[in-house]
Amino acid sequence: MKKAFVKSYGCQMNAYDAGRMADVLGAEGYAATDMVEEADVVILNTCHIREKAADKVYSELGRLRVLKATRRESGQDTRIVVAGCVAQAEGAEILARAPAVDVVVGPQSYHNLPALLAASHTKRVVDTAFPIEDKFDHLPARRTSAVASFLTVQEGCDKFCAFCVVPYTRGAEVSRSVAAIRAEAEALARGGTREITLIGQNVNAYHGLGQDGTQAALPALMRELATIPGLLRLRYTTSHPNDMDGDLIRAHADIPALMPFLHLPVQSGSDRVLNAMNRKHDADTYRRLIARVREARPDIALSSDFIVGFPGETDQDFADTMRLVAEIGFASAYTFKYSPRPGTPAAEREDAVAEAAKSERLAALQALLDAQRHAYNAGFVGSVVDVLVEKAGREPGQVVGKTPHLLTVQIDAPATVIGTLVPVRIVRAGTNTLFGEIAHDAAVAA
Ligand code: SAH
Ligand code: SF4
Ligand code: F3S
């Protein structure tokens, strides 16, 4: 049997795509492998969001070139495929810089992989078109149903934040139909999935064709999915503040299956910087949104993304970000140093922030957010929470799962509880993980 190795970088959309590429190759008779040395097809599913992410691809391709040559000496062929957002952004450059690459395929074209692989035996091929047809209509059924699975419902972005490559690498916003999403979710649930995270670059801009022929927004989609037997939990990510409408906020109060966690990137707490970033909202709008969300769902765990060192960011601007974080209080967050990306408006600016200032600001912001995360995690010690058990843990006799607030818990419990919701008493909180034991005297709340 032929074997395929897929390595994915970047966001959850890429992780989803990597799984679907494995499905496409699976339908062609390839078995998935996690040992790159034995793979007949190697796919790097790349990310272009920051310079570091994009650079990784070329160092990885250097190693693959050696591997390909070694395998050739023993008479084995290796097809090397670059997929994802670097493929979309730098297709021709990849072929020029990396002679070992056989196929370059963008995020909207990977349903064509079998044909591209076949064609690559006579010449190197690039497919980075944004095809009119919908790749989802051409993908085979999903082969695996993890206890917690991702499901892409929306792709692309029309927002054009000044720093961001996504509108260029993923194309315009497109939503899948409720029927298609429901069919995929039902199949996942039949296979054992108990939690689905609906994903999209701007998932709360979702507006797909509804079952009744009109457009459905995210709350309607979630209400529909919540009726699927076996599906216990729903989540969605990533959202944009400007698409966080009253209906979606109410959904956090009304849909029991929707978990109390919201990732809502704000990027900066300075109005001046938000404006320069083309985010199209100010810091107070974000504060008011959070207040409304907390009113609808008081225990909601909040998460965000921050960029420090955007061109022109002053100490005062950064102080505004620190103030916003101190006021709101986040359960978790991602922090990034601004990275200029070719083709984006911000990359043209001449008022770059010095690297030393970026590092200092990143460290200060991370320290504040880490302290918030510690305090948040510690707040659960002694309480009993519902945990959806996903898989075996680090040690034998341990399993791992997630709380409603998306915290990871290591539990001393047998593997038989995998795939079920169990009440867990939290006994200890680490930096990234909680530790607990099954609370035999308690029942799950759901
Ligand atoms: N669609 C989401 C985010 C997608 S990218 C949103 O609108 O919020 C994920 C995160 O990467 C962004 O939220 C941002 O914080 C970060 N990011 C994007 N471009 C970046 C860049 N050029 N430099 C540093 N961080 C960046
Ligand atoms: Fe990028 Fe902005 Fe679109 Fe998010 S909303 S993907 S940050 S352009
Ligand atoms: Fe990266 Fe593309 Fe996702 S640039 S963050 S893999 S949309």
Report the pLDDT value the prediction gives residue 84, as an integer from 0 to 100: 97
Which residue pairs, CB below 8 angstroms and at least 24 apart, start in 377-382?
A: 377/407, 377/429, 377/430, 377/431, 377/434, 378/429, 380/407, 380/426, 380/429, 380/434, 381/426, 381/427, 381/428, 381/429, 381/434, 382/425, 382/426
pLDDT in tens, 151-190: 999 999 999 999 999 999 999 999 999 999 999 999 999 9
Write out residues in the chain with pLDDT < 50, as ranges: none
Residues with Cβ within 6 A of ligand 1?
Answer: 49-50, 163-164, 166, 201-202, 238, 240, 265, 267, 305, 307, 336, 338-339, 341
Confirm or reject: Cβ of 6 under 6 Å from ligand 2. Answer: no
Report the pLDDT value the prediction gives residue 443, as an integer from 0 to 100: 79
What single-letter amino acid sits at 232?
L
Residue nearest to atom 1 of ligand 2 (CA): 164
Dist. CA 50–CA 330, nearest whole Å: 24
Dist. CA 155–CA 174, nearest whole Å: 5
Report the pLDDT value the prediction gives residue 98, as an integer from 0 to 100: 94
C-alpha to C-alpha distances, 75 to 5, 68, 103, 123, nearest whole angstrom:
19, 10, 20, 20
CA of 290 to the centre of ligand 1 (A): 20
Report the pLDDT value the prediction gives residue 446, as an integer from 0 to 100: 55
C-alpha to C-alpha distances, 354 to 121, 309, 337, 360, nearest whole angstrom:
47, 8, 11, 10
Report the pLDDT value the prediction gives residue 441, as an integer from 0 to 100: 82
Report the pLDDT value the prediction gives residue 431, as an integer from 0 to 100: 83
Residue environment code for 284-293, b if the CB has 16+ CB neighbours within 10 A, otherwise e: ebbeebbeeb
CA of 229 to the centre of ligand 2 (A): 34
